[in-house]
A and B are shown apart, each in its own frame.
Chain A
């Protein structure tokens, strides 16, 4: 099948998954025993308010009908109103999204910059001293809680003697953002590097020791050409898959890092809304997170299919 047909098929799958995601998000409220309206309002519950919510959300109607109304509003871009701020939840999310996107983008960049060279050296000099040293990273690194890494970085670079970076916040202007985002992005990256190094090293090894590399060498091709023309192209393909999964992790990791560094992103929004029991906002953020991840997977699948001729033949 052609690339276009593949993309179409994947888009369809994505729609189904997003559909499932909305069901999950919708049911979040209904997991809690008791009257959802009362739970939502918490201490602010008065009989009038409860009744109002019941009407607004159709909570007395059967579940499928509720879900239908939920989806109707969703499709029109209405994610409900924040109970706390009395503004549309969608707008709250949109306001804070840039911060999180900064964190994701810069974090992804840092992880690639750190992990790819490490994995390449380890794979190229397999079983050598650098390889053994680098392999310690996934082993020990996987146990580091990401927020703890953040705190340690703060300790080292933002407090006491080394006041190189601000303790938190977003800063202003491009350079200000970069400065404020540096440590948080580094924290995110360091959390990701152990997994990345392990996976990348394994994929690269598979490529370096493949039979077609031997074939290329048997033609007497210069080593450089063997590694680049034959090795690299295949290596990039495996790398993309690994990177995509990592970005999935990364997106989730931003949630906690925003807490550590007090960044006004959607992660912090979610946590605050949880603590304030602001259901609509929590739903909205969860939905946005899921859609982001699905998009990342979709893009990586398409890029993979474009680069690897074996893929379309599913």
Chain B
């Protein structure tokens, strides 16, 4: 922050003190994001009720049909209703993405807390592990892991966990390094509180906000990873609807039925947009000053 901006920041600090609870509804990005995500999730949750076709029911006689009243987005190569499959995709891809982020969040945060707070050789080893994982391009590692473990939903969770913890560790460690020099931590140590208590009660609540903001973007990354794996045939296995798989299935028919490959993509983009908006909104709301 430049010295010139300080008077302006001081004036704005009065504004920020009002707190998260009273401000969340006035942050447009957050509101927009939550609304879109809410709508998408609701649609996915209500899919069995709202969609009039079974997403996995094949009807080879009616394959590759264009949009119609009965099938607003047409049917795919196995005669399945595209709209149903796209909507049901929420239940697969979004759900897996959210769950898949939980483990790296927890593991990465713990490692970040410990290595940031204690430093020393613990920190060095953790740092080295981070460098090694980071050396691999994200998708190369994910794909290699899924390859080694085999495809399928369970192994997606494992692969994402093994690769995703790194970001949380970096973020939390960074925050801890700054926070542990702050006075309230020094005071706690001077008072003789145990390390565990300091980390758990004093450090954790203050460093976790950046990790939470990041987790929203991380869910987007997860969705993309799951969808990419699906495209390559290494992800969620058929017949469960998966947007990536749908795009791959639709690619040979681009010249005739371009909807097959396009609409699942829109679903991904929309869901990701909602999450990005939430991430931006959270970043504004949870800003430390």
Q: Do chains A and B touch in the complex (CB under 8 A)?
A: yes
| A151, B243: Cα distance in complex, Å | 14
Residues of A within 8 A of B148 (CB): 28-29, 31-32
Closest to B269 in A: A143
Which B226-267 residues have C-beta < 8 A from chain A? 227-228, 231-234, 244, 247, 251, 254-255, 258, 261-262, 265
| A282, B272: Cα distance in complex, Å | 31
Q: Does residue A259 face the partner (Cβ distance < 8 Å to B)? A: yes
Residues of A within 8 A of B4 (CB): 211, 214
Which B91-131 residues have C-beta < 8 A from chain A? 128-129, 131
Residues of A within 8 A of B276 (CB): 139-140, 142-143
Main secondary structure of the interface of B (DSSP, over half): helix
Q: Let me know if A159 and B254 touch, CB within 8 A.
A: yes
| A248, B217: Cα distance in complex, Å | 18
Contact A289/B254 with A139-B280, A143-B272 known, Cβ cut-off 8 Å: no
Q: Let me know if B255 and A160 touch, CB within 8 A.
A: yes
Residues of A within 8 A of B251 (CB): 151, 260
How many residues of chain A are within 8 Å of chain B by beta carbon? Answer: 52
Main secondary structure of the interface of A (DSSP, over half): helix
Q: Please, what's the 1-or-0 string for B1-30, where 1 marks a CB less than 8 Å from any CB in chain A? A: 011110000000000000000000000000
| A210, B233: Cα distance in complex, Å | 49
Q: Does residue A274 face the partner (Cβ distance < 8 Å to B)? A: yes
Residue from B149, B150, B269 with most neighbouring chain A CB atoms (10 Å)? B269
> Chain B nearest CB: distance from A149 CB in Å?
9
| A293, B137: Cα distance in complex, Å | 7
> Chain B nearest CB: distance from A40 CB in Å?
11
Closest to B140 in A: A289
Q: Does residue B184 face the partner (Cβ distance < 8 Å to A)? A: no
| A249, B142: Cα distance in complex, Å | 13
| A142, B228: Cα distance in complex, Å | 14
Q: Let me know if B254 and A155 touch, CB within 8 A.
A: yes
Contact A286/B144 with A139-B280, A259-B232 known, Cβ cut-off 8 Å: yes
> Chain B nearest CB: distance from A164 CB in Å?
15
Q: Let me know if B140 and A152 touch, CB within 8 A.
A: no
Binding site for A on B (CB under 8 A): 2-5, 128-129, 131-141, 143-145, 147-150, 217, 220, 223-224, 227-228, 231-234, 244, 247, 251, 254-255, 258, 261-262, 265, 268-273, 275-277, 280
23 CB-based A-B contacts, threshold 8 Å: A29-B148, A31-B145, A32-B150, A140-B273, A142-B272, A143-B223, A144-B265, A145-B224, A145-B268, A146-B228, A148-B261, A151-B247, A151-B254, A160-B255, A251-B137, A253-B137, A255-B137, A255-B143, A270-B140, A270-B143, A274-B147, A274-B234, A289-B137
